[in-house]
Amino acid sequence: MASLLQVRDAIALNGIAEAHQLSRQLATPLRLVEAMLERLSIMGKIERIEQNDRSCLCGGCKRCPEGQRHHRMMYQLTTPR
């Protein structure tokens, strides 16, 4: 089971990562990784980046059952200010 530090370190090593990628990399259940990512985000250690796949040709992704495939949630370390 991974810790918050291991999740943060994995994001640092990858530069940017998705929850399912971290789940596989750390051999940790996806739901737990998602909860850890949420906690790290609240703590201000990481930031969430939403990416939409512009290759969708239908243009109706909000209504499309396949729409979730076009929407990706990525995470990266926050930049020091």
Pick from 56, 55, 72: which is nearest to 16 by CA? 72
Mean pLDDT of the chain: 85
In the chain the domains, ranked by start, together with CATH numbers, are 4-77 (1.10.10.10)
Stated length of the chain:
81
Q: Which amino acid is at 10?
A: A
pLDDT digits (tens, 9 = 90+) for 30-46: 999 999 999 999 999 99
Cα separation, 29 vs 1, in Å, equals: 8
Instruction: List the 46-52 sheet strands across, edge first.
Output: 17-18, 71-77, 46-52
pLDDT of residue 60: 55
**pLDDT tens digits for 51-72?**
765 555 555 555 565 555 556 8
pTM: predicted TM-score of the whole model, two decimal places: 0.77
Decide if pLDDT at 29 tops 70: yes
**57 Cβ contact partners less than 8 Å away, ≥ 6 residues apart:** none
pLDDT value, residue 50: 86
- For 10, the 3-state DSSP assignment is helix
